[in-house]
Structure 1
Amino acid sequence: MRRILMRLLYGINTNGQGHINRARDVIRQLLFDGHQVDCLFSGPTPPLYAKSLVRRWRHIPGYKIKFSGQGINVPETLLQNLLHFRNFPRIFENVRRLVKQEDYDAIITDFEGFSCMAGLATQKPVISVDHQHSLIHFKQVLPPVQVHDLIVGMGLVLYCTPLCNHYFAIDFVQELERSGIGTLFPLFEKFELLDYTPTVEDHYCVYLPYLREQHVLKVLQKFPEERFKVYGYHRKETLGHVSFEPTGRQTFLQDMASSKGVLMHAGFSSSWEAILLKKHIYLNPLDNHIEQATNAHRLAKFDRAHVAPILTRESVAAFISKAQDQDYQVNAHLTVTHPSVLTNAIYDRIDDFEPFVSWAIVRKQLSRIAGGISNGVGGVRAQASQTVNHIAQRVSGRFLNRTKRPSELLSNLS
């Protein structure tokens, strides 16, 4: 355990449950190691269990994702967030003051941008622990996708965590891969799942909430010899061999742990849990979602998932047949480590932190992000550029009060 105990701020993006579930295990290990951890949630209102992760937490507005049908509505998502962009300088300034007032030793962020920028502005170590950075790590392979999906996905990574001292991208890899300021990191055990013993009972677990309920029921009813427990539609009803179950974390995990296999979208967190529970996986990635397309592509490469862009009778039949042929046992395995291995790596990167940061790099990075976000959005473009330039000036001004420009340092040496 690290001898010097730290006060840490953990920024968590609350779009979906994946960021919270991943951060929960890292936070638990940090607390076990004796550190004090506060949480900063940004985005939609966090669920109750997220607020119980630590004693002190705050929730601030952040970006939100708009869904339409079986995928992300990219135009509405961009428009909704750009219209609220003018509030971001005020939010950033409040978070910067919080970081300065609390005098945190380091910032850890799971795809949360304000804590990242505030840590940079106050010259604190900023460590990103997420999955999304695997999209920009050069040693990972991207799936064949539409160019605009790729641009949106990578733009979102740069927007949410534009600068950090090091990022750990948790991903489906067999070994640790470090390159520059980034490290691809294998999956680690989740404390929550230690309470569930994998077994094989008489059902498949289904979680496809972005598909129409009638379509899911129609496809599953074509397999009367199988039993399905369906989650995600917030109701309790049994229709023959298909049972709709009310939303509940514990019952869902129990049904997943005791299932023959799992049918779900290609979210990283749920796929991770199915792997830890050693289940056969059927993946139906969302449309216009580069991360889910990438997850599905990489798991298929390891022969750990059956991928189907559309839920059909034929694709489900192929999945069931493969699970039966292997007697519901998984033959392909991925590396799984312990959360303490990750936290020890985080401590090493914090120890390596150097407080000097070039103000020119900050302004260049932020201006690049502003240009990428504002392209093609018409009248909102000027507002977006003006807002991010304002943040850049505030951030660079903070650095100028504490450090000298590289040219000034060189002149002092002559």
Structure 2
Amino acid sequence: MKILYGVQATGNGHITRARVMASALVKEGIEVDFLFSGRAPEKLFNMEPFGDYQVRRGLTFTVSHGRIDRWRSLTQNNFVQLIRDIRALDLQEYDLIISDFEPVTAWAAKRQKKTCIGIAHQYAFQYSLPGPGVGRIMMPMIRFFAPVQQGIGLHWHHFDGPILPPLIEPQSYPVTQQTGMVLVYLPFETREQIRQWLLPLRDVEFHVYCDIDQPEDDGHILWRPLSREGFRQAQACCEGVIANGGFGLSSEVLQAGKKLLTKPLTGQPEQASNTAVLDYLGLAEVFTDLTAEQFYRWINKPSPTPVVYPDVAAALARWIREGCLRSATELAQELWQGELTKEQRV
């Protein structure tokens, strides 16, 4: 069996899911090729698990000062190139296409009448979730952006629907707690804005991962270049994490049992929903403009109990090898069996 796996590379969460699935699929004897889009090739890092992967321009969004810039997102995407890439992608050698919200592979599969399965957090919006009702807004866009024949959604709770638990990488470093050390990943905010928030909090050491070439120390604010392993080590030993409302990183933080302080990307309905769900489940605190009062209230809270998620990647890889015959409802029931209810978690 041979698969083409398309990954939306705008956010690191999609790439992290693909890393986990890559290993699980190989263990099931499945041959996999990967295609990434939404980020320039030179901006991709730690991509060794994907072998000789392909890159296409795809579609992405532009952020300005912590919010989505709709006009620039529209004008800076190259839709002519997108259509060319869709038409040029030959899927003849593949038995199945998987799309983690990636448009080139999804549309090429639709055009060539190939079976395409979607595996992504976005497909959870097919079902009723707590918080703002963004599903009605998002699902037409999701279906247009990356059309699939079956969408497998992932979330922190099943919410009485066929939604699977998060598909994340197991923590590879011993989990400890270095008091007064906080990990920060706010890729959609400017460095100056992050510095303004963190500068008054001088009794805390902040490790801020961002798009720079070399480490820079600015007193208690330590700026660090993007590194998957460096980030994972910091995540394992920090006291808490400040991050945007992305699904993948939030899942890793919950798994590690770290305090989470999260800011949704303004104008991004998925992150608005994510932070609302985290708040509803009592799993994180949400901010829009960080104040010292809110920060210290958050950092002085006790650390949460780590959330133990089942091996979703292994279950999905087996499901794929067996021909995707079982329903998403069966998969969800199998994977959530024995998991904590919302009432037990809060």
Return the offset for 1:351.
4.0
Residue 176 to residue 36, structure 1, CA distance change in 2 (3 Å): farther
Aligned residue in 2 for 1:161: 146
Q: How many Å separate the matches in 2 of 1:340 and 1:94?
A: 32
Residue 259 to residue 165, structure 1, CA distance change in 2 (3 Å): same
Task: Please say which structure displays the higher CA radius of gyration.
Answer: 1
Q: How many Å separate the matches in 1 of 2:59 and 2:69?
A: 14
8 Å Cα contact 2:168-2:251 kept in structure 1: no
TM-score scaled by structure 2?
0.84
Aligned residue in 2 for 1:44: 39
1:163-242 → structure 2 map (5 Å cutoff): 164-174=148-158, 177-178=161-162, 184-191=163-170, 193=171, 195-202=172-179, 203-232=181-210, 234=212, 235-242=214-221
Residue 229 to residue 168, structure 1, CA distance change in 2 (3 Å): same
Output the amino acid matched with 1:54: F
Residues 262-283 of structure 1: CA deviation (Å, up to 9, x unaligned): 1111111211221121111000
Return the offset for 1:233.
5.5
8 Å Cα contact 1:71-1:210 kept in structure 2: yes
Residue 313 to residue 48, structure 1, CA distance change in 2 (3 Å): closer
Residue in structure 2 matching 1:60, options 49, 56, 60: 56
Equivalences, count: 323
Output the amino acid matched with 1:72: I
8 Å Cα contact 1:7-1:106 kept in structure 2: yes
Q: How many Å separate the matches in 2 of 1:226 and 1:43?
A: 35
Structure 1 residue 281 corresponds to structure 2 residue 255: no
Q: How many Å separate the matches in 1 of 2:326 and 2:314?
A: 18
- Consecutive unaligned residues of structure 2, counting only runs of 5 or more, are 328-346
Aligned residue in 2 for 1:310: 289
Q: How many Å separate the matches in 1 of 2:275 and 2:189?
A: 17
Residue 10 to residue 306, structure 1, CA distance change in 2 (3 Å): same
Output the amino acid matched with 2:152: F
Return the offset for 1:175.
7.5
Residue 165 to residue 158, structure 1, CA distance change in 2 (3 Å): closer
Return the offset for 1:63.
1.2
Residue in structure 2 matching 1:244, options 223, 242, 247: 223
Aligned-residue sequence identity (percent) comes to 27
Residue 36 to residue 175, structure 1, CA distance change in 2 (3 Å): farther
| Aligned partner of residue 36 in structure 2, secondary structure | strand
Residue 208 to residue 55, structure 1, CA distance change in 2 (3 Å): closer
Residue 331 to residue 352, structure 1, CA distance change in 2 (3 Å): closer
Aligned residue in 1 for 2:98: 108
Output the amino acid matched with 2:174: T
Aligned residue in 2 for 1:69: 65
Output the amino acid matched with 1:21: T
Output the amino acid matched with 1:222: P
Residue in structure 2 matching 1:138, options 115, 124, 127: 127
8 Å Cα contact 1:175-1:186 kept in structure 2: no
Residues 112-133 of structure 1: CA deviation (Å, up to 9, x unaligned): 1222232233333211011112
Residue in structure 2 matching 1:345, options 292, 309, 319: 319
8 Å Cα contact 1:174-1:334 kept in structure 2: no
Residue in structure 1 matching 2:74, options 66, 74, 78: 78
